[in-house]
Amino acid sequence: MADENEKVEQEAKASGAGSKADVDRQDQTQDEQGAPSEQAPMLSPLMQDVVDGLKAHLPGLKPTARDDEWVEINVEADALKEVALTLRDRLGFDYLSMISAVDYRDEGFEVVYHLLSLLANKKLVIKVRLADRENPTAPSVVDVWPTADFHEREAWDLMGVRFEGHPDLRRILMREDWEGHPLRKDYVDDRAPRERQTRETYYESYIAKGRSK
Amino acid sequence: MSKTLDRIDQVGAVGEIRSEDLFINMGPQHPSTHGVLRVLATFDGEVVKSAKADVGYLHRCFEKIAEKRQLVQVVPYTDRTDYLSAITNELCFVMAVEKLLDVEIPMRAQYIRFIMAELQRIASHLLFFGTFALDLGAVTVFLYAWRERERLLDIFESVTGARMLYNYLRIGGVRNDVFDGFEKVVEGFLDDLEKRLREYHNILTGNRIFETRTKGVGVVSAEDAIRYGASGPVLRASGVKYDVRKAEPYLLYDRYEFDVPVRTEGDCYARYIVRMKEIEESIKLVRQALADMPVGGKIIGDVPRRIKLEGDTYARVDSPRGEVACYLVGDGSDQAYRLKWRSPCFVHLQLLELMAKGRLVADLVASIGSLDIVMGEVDR
């Protein structure tokens, strides 16, 4: 805890003097946009840092640099847990911003993790492709980042992606007895449309109900 | 007295004293849950043993609707996620689209957006100030906060035509220019608010009852705040100096000077102080922006007639409640293929058990209030 406070104070100092560094970084990205024909585009120092770290600790992955300051990696579902632990413990990605699930129809599902390193201000996207449409399953990362709990429940609820090892994988936004996963592209709401009630029909049904009692 | 003792003796004679945990549904209709939050709580006497949030009572399929609408038509839906800071929500969505389309926003529109976003922060924090005090039983404060917020809503109404749900931002700029004399009206409001802020601190901040109800209550350590994905004032009150406005400056935040208020206690009081300090910072920011706001010029950039959304992007905004983010995927059509919304309150509700465990019932109410929850945003 004392460590944490120290870090925070350091960060406070750094961000006070950091505005200049930010400006430098922006200049660099502008240069980058100015000369798009270059073979190996210059990365901003922070992105370079992320890429170097990934190469050192997770040599199997191929990081790609996106032009909006995020570094992107594609990970196999089986390897996700290990990668997540390495990212948190070795590379300082302590903050999970969001988990999104996307339905790509025939190409299966994609689960996207947006990670931040709060103190170093590094950014990383993990994309996990799940080809199995019938039963898409990814390992849960709740024990790596506890905030994943609600996000994973939501992904299960609305998209039907199962997270193995999640302590309590229930529906979160929809009703518990809801059938199907509404955000899937092939989801059809096949409930019969409700009949339009007029004042007369409403009272009729109301009276009928009363009589049956 | 003696009667009770007798009874205890009798019970003891037959067997040991039985005690049982009490399960209580707090909400979904409960005045202190800010809408329709249901807390599944078990109590041992008056001590909270567990408190789990159950959400979804206000689910409106925002993400599904967004896939079926034109992009401009999605903007009013974003208003309705967090209806107390509609501009920042619109901003997040519009920024995501602009990132994909690579649209340049005219300077005048940037300034209008910037000023409106910061005014929105003040309005939202004023509402927090009122309702948080109301949760703790101080009714007077609510009326004062409402008085100032009302003036702010009048300004919003004059600019956008609506008091809370504006539908004001457009892809590439804003819908209409501000009225003549906007600067003067806002300046006048800020001057008054600054004086009134001192009044607010007098009425609530030093209050003994308020302090006992909030200090040391609902503590979240810096470590837990990061692990559980807290953001905005909740994260900053736990001692982590992180603000999207500094870390990833959008709009004009890299041009103007402002501090990021931080407290290290991580309790309800710290969250309250951080929000009050943020009002001061917002006043500072709006003043600076008003001073060099360009006069005249375009308010909407060159947006292509035929929109083609391609690729994916992640836009982040620091809303009054925390980090609002939007993951937008396009498939080459003019509609969003997938829109995923990050709502800070949804994430913050996971902290509830941590904050309330082992504390009294009244502290659970204070904890919920200090998170400044908007259920419309949690359930989307």
Task: Give tens-digit pLDDT for B5-38.
Answer: 555 555 555 566 777 888 888 878 777 777 788 8
Contact A182/B262, CB-based, under 8 Å?
A: no
The closest of A23, A193, A12, A102 to B263, measured between CA atoms, is: A12
Do the Cβ atoms of B357 and B223 come closer than 8 Å?
no
Contacts of B241 in chain A (CB under 8 A): 8, 11-12, 15
Range from A9-23, A120-134, A160-174, B14-28 carrying the lowest mean pLDDT: A9-23
> What's residue A211's pLDDT?
61
**Looking at this predicted complex, what is its ipTM?**
0.85
Q: What angle do CA B210, B82, B33 make, to 5 degrees?
A: 40
Pick the residue with more confidence: B147 or A200? Answer: B147
- Residue-averaged pLDDT of chain A: 77
Do the Cβ atoms of B32 and A149 come closer than 8 Å?
no
Question: What pLDDT, in 10s, does the model give residues A14-67?
Answer: 444 434 344 444 444 444 444 444 445 677 777 777 777 777 777 777 888 777
Question: What pLDDT, in 10s, does the model give residues A62-94?
Answer: 888 777 788 888 888 888 888 888 888 888 888
SS3 B237: helix
Please give the residue of chain A at the shortest CA–CA distance from B99. Answer: A68
N residues, chain B = 380
Contact B64/A97, CB-based, under 8 Å?
A: no
> What's residue A16's pLDDT?
41
Do the Cβ atoms of B228 and B347 come closer than 8 Å?
yes
Residues 108-127 on A with a CB inside 8 Å of B are 112, 114, 118, 121, 125
The answer to whether residue A22 neighbours chain B at the CB level (below 8 Å) is yes
Q: Enumerate residue ranges in chain B where pLDDT < 50.
A: 1
User: How many other C-beta atoms are found inside a 10 Å radius of the C-beta of residue A77?
Assistant: 17
The closest of B134, B150, B126 to B200, measured between CA atoms, is: B126
Q: What is the DSSP string of chain A?
A: -HHHHHHHHHHHHHHHHTHHHHHHHHHHHHHHHH-TT-SSPPPPHHHHHHHHHHHHH-TT---EE-TTS-EEEEE-GGGHHHHHHHHHHTS---EEEEEEEEE-GGG-EEEEEEEEETTTTEEEEEEEEE--SSS-EEE--TTT-TTHHHHHHHHHHHH--EEET-TT---SSS-TT--S-TTSTT----SPPPPPP-HHHHHHHHHHHHHH-
Rounded Cα distance between B195 and B144, Å, is 13
> What's residue A41's pLDDT?
60
The answer to whether residue A25 neighbours chain B at the CB level (below 8 Å) is no
| Separation in Å, CA of B179 to nearest CA in chain A | 34
For residue B340 the two structure tokens come to 């995923």
Do the Cβ atoms of A154 and A173 come closer than 8 Å?
yes
The pairs formed by B129-134 with CB atoms below 8 angstroms and a separation of 24 or more are: B129/B200, B129/B204, B129/B272, B129/B275, B129/B276, B131/B34, B131/B369, B132/B272, B132/B369, B132/B370, B132/B372, B133/B204, B133/B210
H or E element that contains B38: strand B38-44
The answer to whether residue A19 neighbours chain B at the CB level (below 8 Å) is yes
Q: Which amino acid is at A81?
A: K
Contact A172/B226, CB-based, under 8 Å?
A: no
Rounded Cα distance between A65 and A124, Å, is 9
Do the Cβ atoms of B242 and B226 come closer than 8 Å?
no
> What's residue A212's pLDDT?
55
CA B60 to chain CA centroid, nearest Å: 19
Instruction: Tell me the CA distances in angstroms from A45 to A28, A29, A87, A174, B253, one per residue in order.
Output: 9, 10, 18, 44, 21
> What's residue B187's pLDDT?
92
Contact A125/B314, CB-based, under 8 Å?
A: yes
Which residues lie across from B317 on neighbouring strands?
A: B324
Q: What is the DSSP string of B89-139?
A: HHHHHHHHHHHHHTPPPPHHHHHHHHHHHHHHHHHHHHHHHHHHHHHTT-H
Contacts of A1 in chain B (CB under 8 A): 221-223
H or E element that contains B302: none
| Separation in Å, CA of B89 to nearest CA in chain A | 16
Cβ-Cβ contacts under 8 Å for B136 (sequence gap 6 or more)? B209, B210, B213, B214, B365, B366, B369
| Separation in Å, CA of A12 to nearest CA in chain B | 6
User: How many other C-beta atoms are found inside a 10 Å radius of the C-beta of residue A66?
Assistant: 15
Q: For tokens 């549904």, name the residue.
A: B25
Cβ-Cβ contacts under 8 Å for B358 (sequence gap 6 or more)? B47, B48, B49
| Test the A interface: residue of B327, B343, B371 with most A CBs within 10 Å | B327
For residue B116 the two structure tokens come to 């409106």
Contacts of B64 in chain A (CB under 8 A): 182-183
Rounded Cα distance between B157 and B24, Å, is 42
